[in-house]
Amino acid sequence: MTPSGPHFYLPSRSPTHATIKIVLKSLNHAINEPSSSSPLILLNPRWSANEILYAIRSICPNDDISSVVLYHEGSASVPSEIPFLKSLRELATSTYDAPSAIHLPSPVIVLFTSGTTGKPKGVKLSLRSVLFQSFAKTRPPTSYDSDTALYLNIPLCHVGGLISMLGVGNSYSSHIEVGIFSPTGSPLPDGEVGVIGTRGPHVMDGYVGCPPQQPSEFLMTNDLGYFHVPSSTFCFVGRANDTVRSGGETVVCAEVEREVMRCALGLRECASFGLEDPNTARGEVVCVAVVPSAGKLRLSDFEGVLKSRWGLASYKRPRRFYQLKELPRNSNGKVLKAALRLKFGGRSRL
Protein backbone atom coordinates (compact mmCIF):
# COMPACT_ATOMS: atom_id res chain seq x y z
CA MET A 1 0.00 0.00 0.00
CA THR A 2 1.34 3.43 -0.97
CA PRO A 3 1.87 5.77 2.02
CA SER A 4 -0.43 8.79 2.22
CA GLY A 5 2.33 11.39 2.48
CA PRO A 6 3.40 13.85 -0.22
CA HIS A 7 4.58 12.37 -3.51
CA PHE A 8 7.68 13.77 -5.23
CA TYR A 9 8.93 12.99 -8.72
CA LEU A 10 12.58 12.87 -9.73
CA PRO A 11 12.71 12.31 -13.50
CA SER A 12 15.77 11.60 -15.60
CA ARG A 13 17.68 14.52 -17.12
CA SER A 14 16.16 13.99 -20.57
CA PRO A 15 12.34 13.79 -20.71
CA THR A 16 11.06 10.24 -21.05
CA HIS A 17 7.67 8.78 -21.95
CA ALA A 18 7.24 7.82 -18.30
CA THR A 19 7.62 11.39 -17.03
CA ILE A 20 5.38 12.80 -19.76
CA LYS A 21 2.68 10.26 -18.89
CA ILE A 22 2.84 11.19 -15.19
CA VAL A 23 2.50 14.91 -15.98
CA LEU A 24 -0.49 14.34 -18.28
CA LYS A 25 -2.16 11.97 -15.79
CA SER A 26 -1.74 14.48 -12.99
CA LEU A 27 -3.16 17.38 -15.01
CA ASN A 28 -6.07 15.25 -16.21
CA HIS A 29 -6.84 14.32 -12.61
CA ALA A 30 -6.69 18.01 -11.57
CA ILE A 31 -9.18 18.93 -14.31
CA ASN A 32 -11.64 16.09 -13.67
CA GLU A 33 -11.35 15.74 -9.90
CA PRO A 34 -10.07 19.09 -8.55
CA SER A 35 -11.38 18.53 -5.03
CA SER A 36 -9.18 15.46 -4.50
CA SER A 37 -6.10 16.48 -6.49
CA SER A 38 -2.71 17.25 -5.04
CA PRO A 39 0.10 19.07 -6.83
CA LEU A 40 2.63 17.25 -8.97
CA ILE A 41 5.98 18.14 -7.38
CA LEU A 42 8.86 17.80 -9.85
CA LEU A 43 12.47 17.83 -8.61
CA ASN A 44 15.66 18.58 -10.51
CA PRO A 45 17.61 15.42 -11.44
CA ARG A 46 20.87 17.40 -11.55
CA TRP A 47 20.65 18.22 -7.84
CA SER A 48 22.76 16.51 -5.21
CA ALA A 49 21.09 14.33 -2.57
CA ASN A 50 21.32 17.18 -0.04
CA GLU A 51 19.62 19.63 -2.43
CA ILE A 52 16.83 17.15 -3.13
CA LEU A 53 16.33 16.57 0.58
CA TYR A 54 16.19 20.33 1.24
CA ALA A 55 13.47 20.79 -1.42
CA ILE A 56 11.42 17.91 0.02
CA ARG A 57 11.66 19.26 3.56
CA SER A 58 10.59 22.73 2.38
CA ILE A 59 7.29 21.26 1.16
CA CYS A 60 6.49 18.86 4.00
CA PRO A 61 4.39 20.20 6.91
CA ASN A 62 6.48 20.54 10.08
CA ASP A 63 9.50 19.16 8.22
CA ASP A 64 8.07 15.61 8.57
CA ILE A 65 9.38 13.27 5.86
CA SER A 66 8.31 10.00 7.53
CA SER A 67 5.58 9.30 4.94
CA VAL A 68 7.19 10.90 1.88
CA VAL A 69 7.18 8.92 -1.37
CA LEU A 70 9.83 9.63 -3.98
CA TYR A 71 9.37 8.29 -7.49
CA HIS A 72 12.60 8.28 -9.50
CA GLU A 73 14.17 6.92 -12.68
CA GLY A 74 17.29 5.35 -11.25
CA SER A 75 18.96 8.60 -10.16
CA ALA A 76 22.21 8.20 -8.22
CA SER A 77 21.36 11.24 -6.09
CA VAL A 78 18.38 9.80 -4.22
CA PRO A 79 18.58 10.82 -0.52
CA SER A 80 18.95 7.86 1.81
CA GLU A 81 16.69 9.58 4.37
CA ILE A 82 13.56 9.17 2.22
CA PRO A 83 11.61 6.18 3.61
CA PHE A 84 9.65 5.17 0.50
CA LEU A 85 11.33 4.98 -2.92
CA LYS A 86 9.43 3.81 -5.98
CA SER A 87 9.97 3.47 -9.71
CA LEU A 88 8.61 6.34 -11.77
CA ARG A 89 8.47 4.14 -14.87
CA GLU A 90 6.35 1.53 -13.10
CA LEU A 91 3.99 4.26 -11.88
CA ALA A 92 3.55 5.52 -15.44
CA THR A 93 2.10 2.18 -16.54
CA SER A 94 -0.20 1.75 -13.52
CA THR A 95 -3.51 3.31 -12.53
CA TYR A 96 -2.97 6.86 -11.29
CA ASP A 97 -3.26 7.00 -7.50
CA ALA A 98 -3.48 10.65 -6.47
CA PRO A 99 -1.44 11.57 -3.37
CA SER A 100 -3.13 13.14 -0.39
CA ALA A 101 -3.47 16.92 -0.11
CA ILE A 102 -0.46 18.69 1.45
CA HIS A 103 -1.90 22.12 2.24
CA LEU A 104 -1.24 23.65 -1.19
CA PRO A 105 -4.86 24.16 -2.30
CA SER A 106 -4.47 25.99 -5.62
CA PRO A 107 -1.43 24.65 -7.53
CA VAL A 108 -1.50 21.62 -9.78
CA ILE A 109 2.29 21.62 -10.24
CA VAL A 110 5.17 22.73 -8.02
CA LEU A 111 8.56 23.40 -9.63
CA PHE A 112 11.70 24.72 -7.97
CA THR A 113 13.91 27.65 -8.87
CA SER A 114 17.59 26.92 -9.42
CA GLY A 115 18.66 28.78 -6.27
CA THR A 116 21.02 31.20 -8.01
CA THR A 117 20.63 33.81 -5.25
CA GLY A 118 20.04 31.40 -2.36
CA LYS A 119 18.18 28.16 -1.64
CA PRO A 120 15.76 26.79 -4.29
CA LYS A 121 12.19 28.05 -3.81
CA GLY A 122 9.06 26.08 -4.63
CA VAL A 123 6.98 27.82 -7.32
CA LYS A 124 3.24 27.13 -7.24
CA LEU A 125 1.59 26.89 -10.68
CA SER A 126 -2.20 26.81 -10.95
CA LEU A 127 -4.04 24.95 -13.70
CA ARG A 128 -4.94 28.35 -15.18
CA SER A 129 -1.28 29.39 -15.30
CA VAL A 130 -0.09 26.12 -16.84
CA LEU A 131 -2.77 26.14 -19.54
CA PHE A 132 -2.31 29.78 -20.52
CA GLN A 133 1.46 29.44 -20.72
CA SER A 134 1.10 26.35 -22.90
CA PHE A 135 -1.46 28.15 -25.08
CA ALA A 136 1.10 30.93 -25.66
CA LYS A 137 3.35 28.41 -27.42
CA THR A 138 0.87 28.40 -30.31
CA ARG A 139 1.77 32.01 -31.06
CA PRO A 140 4.93 33.26 -32.82
CA PRO A 141 7.81 32.64 -32.64
CA THR A 142 7.11 28.97 -31.74
CA SER A 143 3.64 28.62 -33.38
CA TYR A 144 3.06 25.06 -32.16
CA ASP A 145 0.10 23.12 -33.56
CA SER A 146 -1.13 19.53 -33.65
CA ASP A 147 1.35 18.70 -36.42
CA THR A 148 4.38 19.92 -34.48
CA ALA A 149 7.09 17.30 -33.87
CA LEU A 150 8.84 18.51 -30.73
CA TYR A 151 12.44 17.59 -29.92
CA LEU A 152 12.39 18.27 -26.20
CA ASN A 153 15.85 18.45 -24.65
CA ILE A 154 14.84 20.54 -21.61
CA PRO A 155 14.01 18.67 -18.37
CA LEU A 156 10.34 18.77 -17.39
CA CYS A 157 11.33 20.12 -13.97
CA HIS A 158 12.05 23.40 -15.82
CA VAL A 159 8.99 25.46 -16.70
CA GLY A 160 10.31 25.93 -20.27
CA GLY A 161 10.41 22.18 -20.89
CA LEU A 162 7.08 21.53 -19.19
CA ILE A 163 5.19 24.28 -21.04
CA SER A 164 6.74 23.38 -24.39
CA MET A 165 5.57 19.80 -24.00
CA LEU A 166 2.03 20.88 -23.09
CA GLY A 167 1.90 23.58 -25.77
CA VAL A 168 1.64 21.29 -28.77
CA GLY A 169 -1.92 21.28 -30.08
CA ASN A 170 -3.32 24.08 -27.88
CA SER A 171 -4.98 27.40 -28.80
CA TYR A 172 -4.34 30.79 -27.27
CA SER A 173 -6.20 33.84 -26.01
CA SER A 174 -4.14 36.86 -24.98
CA HIS A 175 -4.75 38.40 -21.55
CA ILE A 176 -1.17 39.24 -20.59
CA GLU A 177 0.11 42.60 -19.35
CA VAL A 178 3.74 43.67 -19.05
CA GLY A 179 5.09 46.87 -17.50
CA ILE A 180 8.32 48.49 -16.31
CA PHE A 181 8.49 49.60 -12.67
CA SER A 182 10.77 51.36 -10.22
CA PRO A 183 12.10 49.44 -7.19
CA THR A 184 9.17 50.87 -5.18
CA GLY A 185 6.61 49.61 -7.69
CA SER A 186 5.82 52.86 -9.53
CA PRO A 187 5.33 52.60 -13.32
CA LEU A 188 8.21 54.04 -15.39
CA PRO A 189 7.92 55.85 -18.73
CA ASP A 190 9.01 54.23 -22.01
CA GLY A 191 12.76 54.12 -22.47
CA GLU A 192 13.69 53.94 -18.79
CA VAL A 193 15.25 50.76 -17.40
CA GLY A 194 13.32 49.21 -14.56
CA VAL A 195 12.00 45.99 -13.09
CA ILE A 196 9.80 43.95 -15.43
CA GLY A 197 6.36 43.23 -14.01
CA THR A 198 3.63 41.06 -15.50
CA ARG A 199 0.11 40.03 -14.64
CA GLY A 200 -2.51 37.79 -16.16
CA PRO A 201 -3.64 34.16 -16.03
CA HIS A 202 -0.11 32.95 -16.87
CA VAL A 203 1.39 34.18 -13.57
CA MET A 204 2.32 31.74 -10.81
CA ASP A 205 0.37 31.63 -7.55
CA GLY A 206 3.47 32.53 -5.53
CA TYR A 207 6.22 30.67 -3.69
CA VAL A 208 5.67 27.82 -1.26
CA GLY A 209 5.52 29.20 2.29
CA CYS A 210 4.93 32.80 1.12
CA PRO A 211 1.73 34.89 0.75
CA PRO A 212 -0.16 34.07 -2.46
CA GLN A 213 0.20 36.23 -5.56
CA GLN A 214 -3.01 38.22 -6.11
CA PRO A 215 -4.37 38.15 -9.72
CA SER A 216 -4.87 41.93 -9.71
CA GLU A 217 -1.24 42.61 -8.78
CA PHE A 218 1.77 42.74 -11.08
CA LEU A 219 4.30 40.03 -10.36
CA MET A 220 7.75 41.63 -10.16
CA THR A 221 10.09 39.29 -12.01
CA ASN A 222 13.46 40.45 -10.64
CA ASP A 223 14.50 41.07 -14.26
CA LEU A 224 15.44 44.45 -15.72
CA GLY A 225 14.20 45.76 -19.03
CA TYR A 226 12.83 48.74 -20.96
CA PHE A 227 10.54 49.52 -23.87
CA HIS A 228 12.39 50.88 -26.92
CA VAL A 229 9.86 53.22 -28.54
CA PRO A 230 11.46 53.73 -32.01
CA SER A 231 11.48 49.99 -32.76
CA SER A 232 8.46 49.07 -30.58
CA THR A 233 10.72 46.48 -28.97
CA PHE A 234 10.65 45.20 -25.41
CA CYS A 235 14.30 44.81 -24.32
CA PHE A 236 15.73 42.60 -21.57
CA VAL A 237 18.77 44.04 -19.73
CA GLY A 238 19.66 41.63 -16.91
CA ARG A 239 18.77 40.48 -13.41
CA ALA A 240 17.68 43.18 -10.96
CA ASN A 241 19.83 41.73 -8.18
CA ASP A 242 22.81 41.33 -10.53
CA THR A 243 23.83 44.97 -10.34
CA VAL A 244 26.44 47.07 -8.59
CA ARG A 245 25.54 50.35 -6.90
CA SER A 246 28.61 52.56 -7.32
CA GLY A 247 28.81 56.31 -6.71
CA GLY A 248 25.04 56.68 -6.94
CA GLU A 249 24.90 54.89 -10.29
CA THR A 250 23.50 51.44 -11.05
CA VAL A 251 25.86 49.22 -13.03
CA VAL A 252 24.33 46.15 -14.74
CA CYS A 253 26.78 43.28 -14.41
CA ALA A 254 25.73 41.63 -17.68
CA GLU A 255 26.71 44.79 -19.55
CA VAL A 256 30.12 44.86 -17.85
CA GLU A 257 30.72 41.20 -18.69
CA ARG A 258 29.94 41.69 -22.36
CA GLU A 259 32.34 44.64 -22.55
CA VAL A 260 35.13 42.78 -20.74
CA MET A 261 34.84 39.87 -23.19
CA ARG A 262 34.85 42.31 -26.13
CA CYS A 263 37.95 44.15 -24.93
CA ALA A 264 40.14 41.31 -23.73
CA LEU A 265 41.62 38.43 -25.68
CA GLY A 266 42.42 35.08 -24.14
CA LEU A 267 39.39 34.84 -21.83
CA ARG A 268 37.13 31.84 -21.65
CA GLU A 269 34.56 33.61 -19.47
CA CYS A 270 34.16 36.24 -16.78
CA ALA A 271 31.72 37.31 -14.07
CA SER A 272 31.17 40.81 -12.74
CA PHE A 273 30.00 41.54 -9.18
CA GLY A 274 30.17 44.23 -6.52
CA LEU A 275 32.10 44.50 -3.27
CA GLU A 276 31.81 47.12 -0.57
CA ASP A 277 34.38 49.90 -0.87
CA PRO A 278 35.04 51.21 2.67
CA ASN A 279 37.81 53.58 1.52
CA THR A 280 35.61 55.79 -0.67
CA ALA A 281 32.08 57.10 -0.73
CA ARG A 282 31.21 55.02 -3.78
CA GLY A 283 29.37 52.37 -1.79
CA GLU A 284 30.38 49.42 -3.97
CA VAL A 285 33.21 48.90 -6.41
CA VAL A 286 32.81 47.00 -9.69
CA CYS A 287 34.83 43.76 -9.69
CA VAL A 288 35.40 41.07 -12.28
CA ALA A 289 36.54 37.45 -11.96
CA VAL A 290 38.16 36.13 -15.13
CA VAL A 291 38.92 32.63 -16.38
CA PRO A 292 41.70 32.55 -19.01
CA SER A 293 41.42 30.31 -22.04
CA ALA A 294 44.81 28.83 -21.25
CA GLY A 295 47.59 29.40 -18.73
CA LYS A 296 47.59 32.49 -16.53
CA LEU A 297 47.01 36.17 -17.13
CA ARG A 298 49.11 39.01 -15.79
CA LEU A 299 46.33 40.98 -14.19
CA SER A 300 48.26 44.26 -14.37
CA ASP A 301 48.60 43.88 -18.16
CA PHE A 302 44.98 42.79 -18.42
CA GLU A 303 43.82 45.88 -16.54
CA GLY A 304 45.83 48.11 -18.88
CA VAL A 305 44.30 46.54 -22.00
CA LEU A 306 40.84 46.88 -20.54
CA LYS A 307 41.37 50.54 -19.66
CA SER A 308 42.63 51.41 -23.16
CA ARG A 309 39.79 49.65 -24.99
CA TRP A 310 36.91 50.35 -22.63
CA GLY A 311 33.85 51.60 -24.49
CA LEU A 312 31.36 52.20 -21.68
CA ALA A 313 31.12 54.93 -19.05
CA SER A 314 34.16 55.04 -16.76
CA TYR A 315 32.11 54.30 -13.62
CA LYS A 316 31.21 50.92 -15.14
CA ARG A 317 34.84 49.85 -15.59
CA PRO A 318 36.02 47.17 -13.10
CA ARG A 319 38.43 48.37 -10.43
CA ARG A 320 39.31 44.98 -8.95
CA PHE A 321 40.35 41.84 -10.83
CA TYR A 322 40.48 38.22 -9.72
CA GLN A 323 41.72 35.20 -11.66
CA LEU A 324 40.11 31.78 -11.29
CA LYS A 325 40.44 28.38 -12.93
CA GLU A 326 36.65 28.19 -13.12
CA LEU A 327 33.62 30.14 -11.94
CA PRO A 328 31.46 28.74 -9.13
CA ARG A 329 28.17 27.36 -10.47
CA ASN A 330 25.07 25.65 -9.19
CA SER A 331 23.70 22.34 -10.48
CA ASN A 332 22.01 24.13 -13.40
CA GLY A 333 25.26 25.69 -14.54
CA LYS A 334 24.41 29.23 -13.41
CA VAL A 335 27.23 31.37 -12.01
CA LEU A 336 26.92 31.95 -8.26
CA LYS A 337 27.64 35.65 -7.74
CA ALA A 338 26.99 35.35 -4.00
CA ALA A 339 29.80 32.79 -3.76
CA LEU A 340 32.16 35.18 -5.56
CA ARG A 341 31.31 38.02 -3.18
CA LEU A 342 31.95 35.82 -0.16
CA LYS A 343 35.16 34.37 -1.60
CA PHE A 344 36.71 37.80 -2.13
CA GLY A 345 35.77 39.38 1.16
CA GLY A 346 32.25 40.64 0.60
CA ARG A 347 29.01 39.89 2.40
CA SER A 348 26.02 37.96 1.18
CA ARG A 349 23.08 40.06 0.02
CA LEU A 350 20.55 37.47 1.22
pLDDT, tens digit, 9 for 90 and up, residues 30-85: 766 766 667 888 888 888 888 888 888 888 867 678 888 888 887 667 888 888 88
Q: How many domains does the chain have?
A: 3
Query: 72 and 142 share a domain?
Result: yes
pLDDT attached to residue 286 = 93
* C-beta separation of 321 from 302 below 8 A: yes
Query: 160 and 30 share a domain?
Result: yes
Query: 24 and 163 share a domain?
Result: yes
Query: 181 and 163 share a domain?
Result: no
pLDDT attached to residue 268 = 93
Give me the CATH number covering residue 163: 3.40.50.12780
Q: Which domain holds residue 325?
A: 243-343
Query: 313 and 213 share a domain?
Result: no
In a domain, 349, yes or no: no
Nearest to 202 by CA among 169, 234, 172: 172
Give me the CATH number covering residue 326: 3.30.300.30
Give me the CATH number covering residue 226: 2.30.38.10
Predicted TM-score (pTM) of this structure: 0.60
Helix/strand/coil for 128: helix
pLDDT attached to residue 101 = 43
In a domain, 1, yes or no: no
Distances (CA, A) of 119 to 113, 318, 330, 336: 8, 28, 11, 12
pLDDT attached to residue 226 = 87
Query: 212 and 229 share a domain?
Result: yes
Query: 324 and 256 share a domain?
Result: yes
Alpha helices in 113-185 (DSSP H): 127-136, 159-167
Listed as ranges, residues in the chain with pLDDT below 70 are: 1-5, 31-32, 34-37, 61, 63, 75-76, 92-106, 116-118, 168-176, 280-281, 346-350
In a domain, 250, yes or no: yes
Which residue, 194, 209, 239, sits at the end of a domain?
Answer: 239
Alpha helices in 294-333 (DSSP H): 299-309
Query: 75 and 106 share a domain?
Result: yes
Buried-exposed string 265-283: b where 16+ CB fall within 10 A, e elsewhere: eebebbbbbbbebeeeebe
Query: 22 and 154 share a domain?
Result: yes
| Maximum C-alpha span of the chain | 71
* C-beta separation of 6 from 69 below 8 A: yes
pLDDT attached to residue 118 = 66
